Amino acid sequence: MIDSGNVTELLGRAAARVPGRPALIGPGRDEGVTFTALWDRVARAAAGFRRAGLRPGDRVVCMLPMSADLYTVLLGLLKAGGVAVFVDPWVGIRRIAAFAAFAEPRGFVGIAKSHLLRLLHPPLRGLPVTVTTGRRRGSLPAAVTLGELLAAPDDAPPAARAPDDPALVTFTSGSSGAPKGVNRTHGFLAAQHEALRAEFPHRDEDVDMPMFPVFALNNLALGVTSVIPDMDLRRVNAVDPERILRQMAAHGVTTCTASPPFFNRLVAAIRTAPRKRPALRRVLTGGAPVSDEDLAAWREALPDTEIVVVYGSTEAEPVAHIDAVERLRASAERTEPAPGYCLGRPSPRVAVRIVRISTEPVALGPDGWDAVEVAAGEVGEIAVSGAHVCKDYFRNPAAAGAHKIRDADGTVWHRMGDTAYRDGAGRLWLTGRVHSTVWRMGRPVHPQLVEQAASKAGYPGSAAVGIPDDSLGERVVLVIRSADRSAAAAAQSRLAAMGCPVDEVAPTTAALPMDPRHNAKFDYARLRAMLLQETGISARLRRVFHGGPRPPGAGGRMPAGRGPDAGMRREDKP
């Protein structure tokens, strides 16, 4: 229970409980800051923001790397009643500026370089509150330095906030229209903290290495030390595993939370030098699907470590999780060539429904959920509700209409955008994304299942996409990594024998485009464009690709069926 409703109370309580414990330890020689020292810095920041004229509810853009400065500013803003606005650095300079201006902020805090962006963008140039973590000369690049902001001590209590008052606004999309800012309220953050604490219990002696900023925030509320990984968070696939392993050994890291590419590189280094194996008791991974092959390799390299796959999103996390042992056992028990990836059972703190696949908004009519839910075992889209599920988006009712469902009692459900089904044990099995579903002859084909089957057939790292086709609606094209043009026929034959609906196989030596955030998921839109240019793709494919609207079946109810192959009739398969 938070007396003021302000989540920064949790850090204050942790500082009182473990005052001398390191809260944050940075890369290199940064020895970090204790919980008491961080709480003092947060209080000073709150006082500084109030002196600068910040009012409760005012939004301030934060462009700082993961560091003690970031959490000082973030929590100082929240303690003063402000709202922190974050723009992911991988979205591009122009979009960063557009998103920041869209938030209509009254302040801007960032490294010196980020202020160049602010000064070059008129809507951000004249903000009344500007702070730089570097030096300043007069009012450039900002009105005050962070040191000046922290000049005066303060013992004022956290500003009272209501559960629905915004705390963080994070922009993580915008490629398909207006910026989509996730509105994380104080109540949401408190509920998420409780969910993470219950789902993934910590030990008093734990030292965590979180790659995701929200997990470091949770550690601060728990009183757990966070070691900030020495890496460029914008280039997860380029992380230096030797550097990370040295950090883990130097600071006694016992737990770690990161995306699959991070652990793939770490495990590759451990397999070549087992003596460098870190003393990890648990790792959590998420942000992208994790293959069974990767999990098996991780278990071999980290035999004494509990490996947990966490499922969730910016709007709702955690939704489900599963231990690697159970996950691999569950996969081995399935008879399908591509059953999907088991996510485990939903968290007891969320309710889950599986609704029909549609790219249109979902509104419940007189028949309620009966009209939109799929039958048990059928593939559909995951929708969740709960205290740690975001209920809306910042100044974007269109996004809320597209991604939220409001039921008869007013409960807001978030559409995850992922397709899945439930097995008889109540576990969720991920089959792909709604937006990448291929509608072949009016029936859905899930690229992730095609890719999983291709991996089993000896073509790992392949990607399946839908290409508009006059007779089929969409053709299923599988892109495989190969320099051998004759490999296409062999791949097609093997997949046909597995009953996998693939109309054409396209070999390529080019790197397949990945998502910019985790570098772990295929960017299907870019891949379609790449197909038009790739040598060896048939002229007919280039001719039929026109990027037009989805076929009529894309917005309707999914055909009846059971399991991950629902909708794939025998006559539909090659």
* Residue 420's CATH number: 2.30.38.10
Q: Same domain, yes or no, for 429 and 463?
A: no
For residues 49 and 548, give the distance between their C-alpha atoms in angstroms, rounded to a whole number.
Answer: 50
Domain endpoint, select from 377, 412, 436: 436
In order of 15, 471, 480, 528, 544, the CA distances from 540 in angstroms are 66, 13, 19, 14, 6
Please provide the distance, in angstroms rounded to a whole number, between the alpha carbons at the two ends of the chain: 59
In a domain, 299, yes or no: no
The separation between CA 304 and the C-alpha centre of its own chain, rounded to angstroms, equals 27
Whether the pLDDT of residue 285 is over 80: the answer is yes
pLDDT in tens, 402-426: 999 999 999 999 999 999 999 999 9
541 and 529 Cβ atoms separated by less than 8 Å: no
Instruction: From 413, 436, 459, give the residue that closes a domain.
Output: 436
491 — phi, psi (to 5°)? -65, -45
Q: Whose CA is closest to 100, among 65, 78, 125?
A: 125
Shared domain for 148 and 108, answered yes or no, is yes
Q: What is the pLDDT of residue 336?
A: 86
Boundary of a domain, candidates 436, 469, 501? 436
| Same domain assignment for residues 69 and 166 | yes
The token duo for 417 is 């955008």
Task: Indicate which CATH number applies to the domain containing 80.
Answer: 3.40.50.980
Q: What is the pLDDT of residue 561?
A: 33
Q: Are residues 430 and 457 in the same domain?
A: no
Same domain? For 46 and 156 the reply is yes
272: in domain: no
Length of the chain: 574
Pair (429, 533) in one structural domain: no
Q: Are residues 400 and 549 in the same domain?
A: no
Tens-digit pLDDT profile for residues 499-545: 888 999 988 888 888 876 666 788 888 888 777 665 444 444 443 33
Q: What is the pLDDT of residue 511?
A: 83
Q: What is the spatial distance between Cα 262 and Cα 249, in angstroms, rounded to a whole number?
A: 17
Within-domain flag for 73: yes
Question: Are the beta carbons of 480 and 454 closer than 8 angstroms?
Answer: yes
What pLDDT does 533 receive?
64
- Are residue 32 and residue 132 in the same domain, yes or no? yes
Same domain membership, residue 57 and residue 28: yes
Q: How many domains does one find in the chain?
A: 3
**Model pLDDT, residue 190:** 96
Judge whether residue 113 has pLDDT over 70.
yes
pLDDT for the residue numbered 565: 38
Helices (H), 224-345: 241-251, 260-272, 292-301, 324-333
391 in a domain, yes or no?
Answer: yes
- Is 545 found in the same domain as 398? no
For residues 142 and 162, state if they share a domain: yes
Domain presence at residue 314: no
User: Rounded to the nearest 5 degrees, what angle is found at the Cα of 308, between the Cα atoms of 307 and 310?
Assistant: 155
Q: Does 267 map to a domain?
A: no
Calculate the alpha carbon distances from 508 to 129, 458, 475, 527 in Å: 51, 15, 18, 11
For residue 419, the enclosing domain spans: 341-436
Handedness of CA 103, 107, 109, 113 (dihedral sign): positive
Quote the percentage of the chain above a pLDDT of 70: 90
Same domain, 139 and 63: yes
Question: How many angstroms separate the Cα of 217 from the Cα of each of 71, 75, 225, 398, 569?
Answer: 8, 9, 11, 30, 48
Residue 508 lies in a domain: yes
Residue 324 lies in a domain: no
Asked if residue 373 lies in contact with residue 352, where contact means CB atoms within 8 angstroms, the answer is no
